[in-house]
Structure 1
Amino acid sequence: MKKRLRSLFEPGSSRWAVRRAQWLAMGLSERDLLKPKIAVVNSSSKLSVCYQHLDAISEQVQEAIRVAGGVPFEIHTTAPSDFITSAGRKGRYLMPSRDLLVNDVEAQVEGAMLDGMVLLASCDKTTPGQLMAAARLDIPSIVVPCGYQLGSACGGASRGEATVDIEDVYKAVGSVKAGSLSLDGLQQMTCQAIRGPGVCAGLATANSMHMMAEALGMALPGSAPIRANSERQQALAREAGIQILQLIEEDLTPRQILSPSAFRNALRVAVTTGTSVNTIRHLIAVAVEAECPVDILAELESLQHLPQITQVRPNGLARIEDLEHAGGCRGVMSRLGARLEGDALTVTIRTVAENVSDAPEPDEQVIRSLDQPFRSEPGLILVRGNLAPDGAIVKLSAVPPAVRRFEGPARVFEDEDEAINGLENGGVRPGDVVILRMLGPKGGPGTVFAASFMAALVGAGLGETVAVITDGELSGLNSGITIGQVMPEAAEGGPLAVVRNDDRVTIDLTARTLALELDEQEVAGRLQDWQPREQTLKPGWLSFYGQLVQPLSRGAVLGRRPEFAPGKSKG
Structure 2
Amino acid sequence: MRSDRIKKGFERAPHRSLLRATGLTDADFEKPFVGIANSHVDIIPGHFFLQEYGRIAKDEIRKAGGVPFEFNTIGVDDGIAMGHEGMRYSLPSRELIADSIETMMNAHCLDALLCIPNCDKIVPGMLMGALRVDVPTVFVSGGPMKAGHKADGTPIDLNSVFEAVGQRAQRQITDAELHDLECRACPSGGSCSGMFTANSMNVLCEAMGVALPGNGTILALTPEREALVRRAARRAVEIAADERFRLRRIVTADAVHNAMVVDMAMGGSTNTVLHMLAIAREAGVEFGLDDIEAIAGKVSHIAKIAPSLSTVHMEDVHRAGGVPAVLHEVARRGGLVREGALTVTGETVGERIKDAKIADPAVIHPLEDAYSKVGGLAVLHGNLAPEGAVVKTAGIQPSMRKFTGKAICFDSQDEAAAGIMAGKVKAGHFVVIRYEGPKGGPGMQEMLSPTALIMGMGLGEQVALVTDGRFSGATRGACIGHVSPEAAEGGAIGLVRDGDAITIDVAARSLTLDVPDAELARRRESFRPAKKEIRSSWLRRYAHLVTNAAKGAVLRSDV
Is 1:421 the counterpart of 2:418 in the alignment? yes
State which drifts further: 295-304 or 142-151: 295-304
Aligned to 1:567: none
Distance in 2 separating the partners of 1:172 and 1:399: 19
The 3 A distance-change label for structure 1 pair 191 and 256 is same
Aligned to 2:37: 41
Aligned to 1:255: 248
State which drifts further: 364-373 or 95-104: 364-373
Is 1:547 the counterpart of 2:544 in the alignment? yes
Residue of structure 2 aligned with 1:60, choices 51, 56, 63: 56
Distance in 2 separating the partners of 1:247 and 1:113: 16
Residue 318 of structure 1: SS of its match in structure 2?
coil
Is 1:295 the counterpart of 2:293 in the alignment? no
Give the counterpart letter for 2:545 in structure 1: L
Aligned to 2:328: 334
State which drifts further: 273-282 or 225-234: 225-234
Distance in 1 separating the partners of 2:92 and 2:474: 20
Distance in 2 separating the partners of 1:212 and 1:532: 36
Residue of structure 2 aligned with 1:25, choices 8, 21, 24: 21
Is 1:373 the counterpart of 2:365 in the alignment? no
Residue of structure 2 aligned with 1:11, choices 9, 12, 22: 9
Q: Please state how far the C-alpha of 1:9 moved relative to its aligned partner.
A: 4.1
1:92-107 aligned within 5 A: 92-107=88-103
Q: Is the 8 A contact 2:421 2:453 kept in 1?
A: no
Q: Please state how far the C-alpha of 1:5 moved relative to its aligned partner.
A: 4.6
State which drifts further: 74-83 or 163-172: 163-172
Aligned to 1:123: 119
**RMSD over aligned Cα, in angstroms?**
1.8
Aligned to 2:475: 478
Residue of structure 2 aligned with 1:325, choices 309, 319, 328: 319
Aligned to 1:201: 193
Unaligned runs of 5+ in 1: 563-571
Aligned to 1:488: 485
Is 1:453 the counterpart of 2:450 in the alignment? yes
Aligned to 2:228: 236
Distance in 1 separating the partners of 2:266 and 2:507: 19
Aligned to 1:522: 519
1:173-192 aligned within 5 A: 173-192=165-184
Q: Is the 8 A contact 1:151 1:166 kept in 2?
A: no
Q: Is the 8 A contact 2:3 2:109 kept in 1?
A: no
Q: Please state how far the C-alpha of 1:19 moved relative to its aligned partner.
A: 2.1
State which drifts further: 342-351 or 418-427: 418-427
Q: Is the 8 A contact 2:6 2:108 kept in 1?
A: no
The 3 A distance-change label for structure 1 pair 343 and 11 is same
Distance in 2 separating the partners of 1:416 and 1:486: 15
Aligned to 1:169: 161
State which drifts further: 292-301 or 398-407: 292-301
Q: Is the 8 A contact 1:7 1:37 kept in 2?
A: no
- CA shift digits 1:95-144 (9 cap, x unpaired): 00111111111111111111111111211111111111111111111111
Aligned to 1:569: none
Distance in 1 separating the partners of 2:295 and 2:22: 54
Q: Please state how far the C-alpha of 1:367 moved relative to its aligned partner.
A: 1.0
Aligned to 1:565: none
Q: Is the 8 A contact 2:440 2:531 kept in 1?
A: no
Residue of structure 2 aligned with 1:404, choices 401, 405, 409: 401
Residue 431 of structure 2: SS of its match in structure 1?
strand
Q: Please state how far the C-alpha of 1:294 moved relative to its aligned partner.
A: 2.6
Distance in 2 separating the partners of 1:319 and 1:281: 23
Distance in 1 separating the partners of 2:18 and 2:357: 48
Distance in 1 separating the partners of 2:558 and 2:319: 41
Q: Is the 8 A contact 1:469 1:484 kept in 2?
A: yes
Residue of structure 1 aligned with 2:202, choices 197, 206, 210: 210
Distance in 1 separating the partners of 2:361 and 2:38: 36
- Structure 1's consecutive aligned runs of 4 or more residues displaced over 3 angstroms after TM superposition are 3-10, 85-88, 151-155, 160-164
- CA shift digits 1:461-482 (9 cap, x unpaired): 1111100001113111111111
Aligned to 2:47: 51
Distance in 1 separating the partners of 2:195 and 2:396: 14
Distance in 2 separating the partners of 1:230 and 1:161: 22
Distance in 1 separating the partners of 2:22 and 2:484: 51
Q: Is the 8 A contact 1:7 1:36 kept in 2?
A: no
Aligned to 1:351: 348
Aligned to 1:276: 269
Distance in 2 separating the partners of 1:154 and 1:466: 28
Q: Please state how far the C-alpha of 1:59 moved relative to its aligned partner.
A: 0.9
Distance in 2 separating the partners of 1:534 and 1:318: 42
Give the counterpart letter for 2:554 in structure 1: V
Give the counterpart letter for 2:271 in structure 1: N
Aligned to 2:76: 80
Q: Please state how far the C-alpha of 1:62 moved relative to its aligned partner.
A: 1.0
Q: What TM-score does the superposition give when structure 2 sets the normalisation length?
A: 0.95
Distance in 2 separating the partners of 1:58 and 1:380: 35
Aligned to 1:465: 462
Equivalenced residues, count: 554
Q: Is the 8 A contact 1:283 1:296 kept in 2?
A: no
- CA shift digits 1:17-48 (9 cap, x unpaired): 22211121221111112211111111111112
Give the counterpart letter for 1:29 in structure 2: T
Q: Is the 8 A contact 2:111 2:241 kept in 1?
A: no
The 3 A distance-change label for structure 1 pair 374 and 24 is same
The 3 A distance-change label for structure 1 pair 39 and 460 is same
Is 1:437 the counterpart of 2:431 in the alignment? no
Distance in 2 separating the partners of 1:341 and 1:41: 29
Is 1:266 the counterpart of 2:259 in the alignment? yes
Distance in 2 separating the partners of 1:514 and 1:154: 38
Q: Is the 8 A contact 2:53 2:226 kept in 1?
A: yes
Q: Is the 8 A contact 1:169 1:189 kept in 2?
A: yes
- CA shift digits 1:51-109 (9 cap, x unpaired): 11101111111111111110111101111110223465151011001111111111111
Aligned to 2:300: 307
Unaligned runs of 5+ in 2: none
Give the counterpart letter for 1:457 in structure 2: I
Distance in 1 separating the partners of 2:547 and 2:384: 20
Distance in 2 separating the partners of 1:342 and 1:110: 32
